Amino acid sequence: TRKPVIPFEEIGEERLHLLIDTFYSKVAKHPLLSPIFPDDLTETARKQKQFMTQYLGGPNLYSEEHGHPMLRARHKPFPITPSRAQAWLECMSEAMDEVELDGTFRDFFYKRLVLTAHHMTNRQEEET
């Protein structure tokens, strides 16, 4: 039997961390996103590195420190409209371009993020 391919091992810790840092540098500059994020994104990026490690099948770093992710509940305080979800995904897509993530891995990862981003949506545009 073949050894299963773990997405986290495919991207590697270093590349995943670079992707996330690149992503938050874009979030910080995005007019729709920056107002709902803290000014200092150090801690946000640290948690996202932990989360995405486990999301991609690596060690459960996020849950070990913070408990069950309950991501939709944790996002409830923030007004996530369809256009903010789209903006988040655009920042991620640009970050993937910048770190030259491509091929089937990128496809797989991005498609999962599209589903998760839509799941985080918790407000209609007119409610903001």
Contact residue for ligand HEM among 12, 78, 97, 124 (CB under 6 A): 78
Q: Tell me the three state secondary structure of residue 67.
A: coil
113: left (phi over 0), alpha (psi -120 to 50) or beta: alpha
Q: Tell me the three state secondary structure of residue 91.
A: helix
Smaller CB separation from ligand HEM, 47 or 106 = 47
Structural contact between residues 19 and 96, judged by C-beta atoms closer than 8 angstroms: yes
Amino acid at 122: N
CA distance 49 to 62: 8
Closest contact distance (angstroms) between CB of 3 and ligand HEM is 26
Contact residue for ligand HEM among 72, 74, 76, 111 (CB under 6 A): 74
Smaller CB separation from ligand HEM, 10 or 49 = 49
Smaller CB separation from ligand HEM, 2 or 127 = 127
Contact residue for ligand HEM among 23, 24, 88, 109 (CB under 6 A): 88
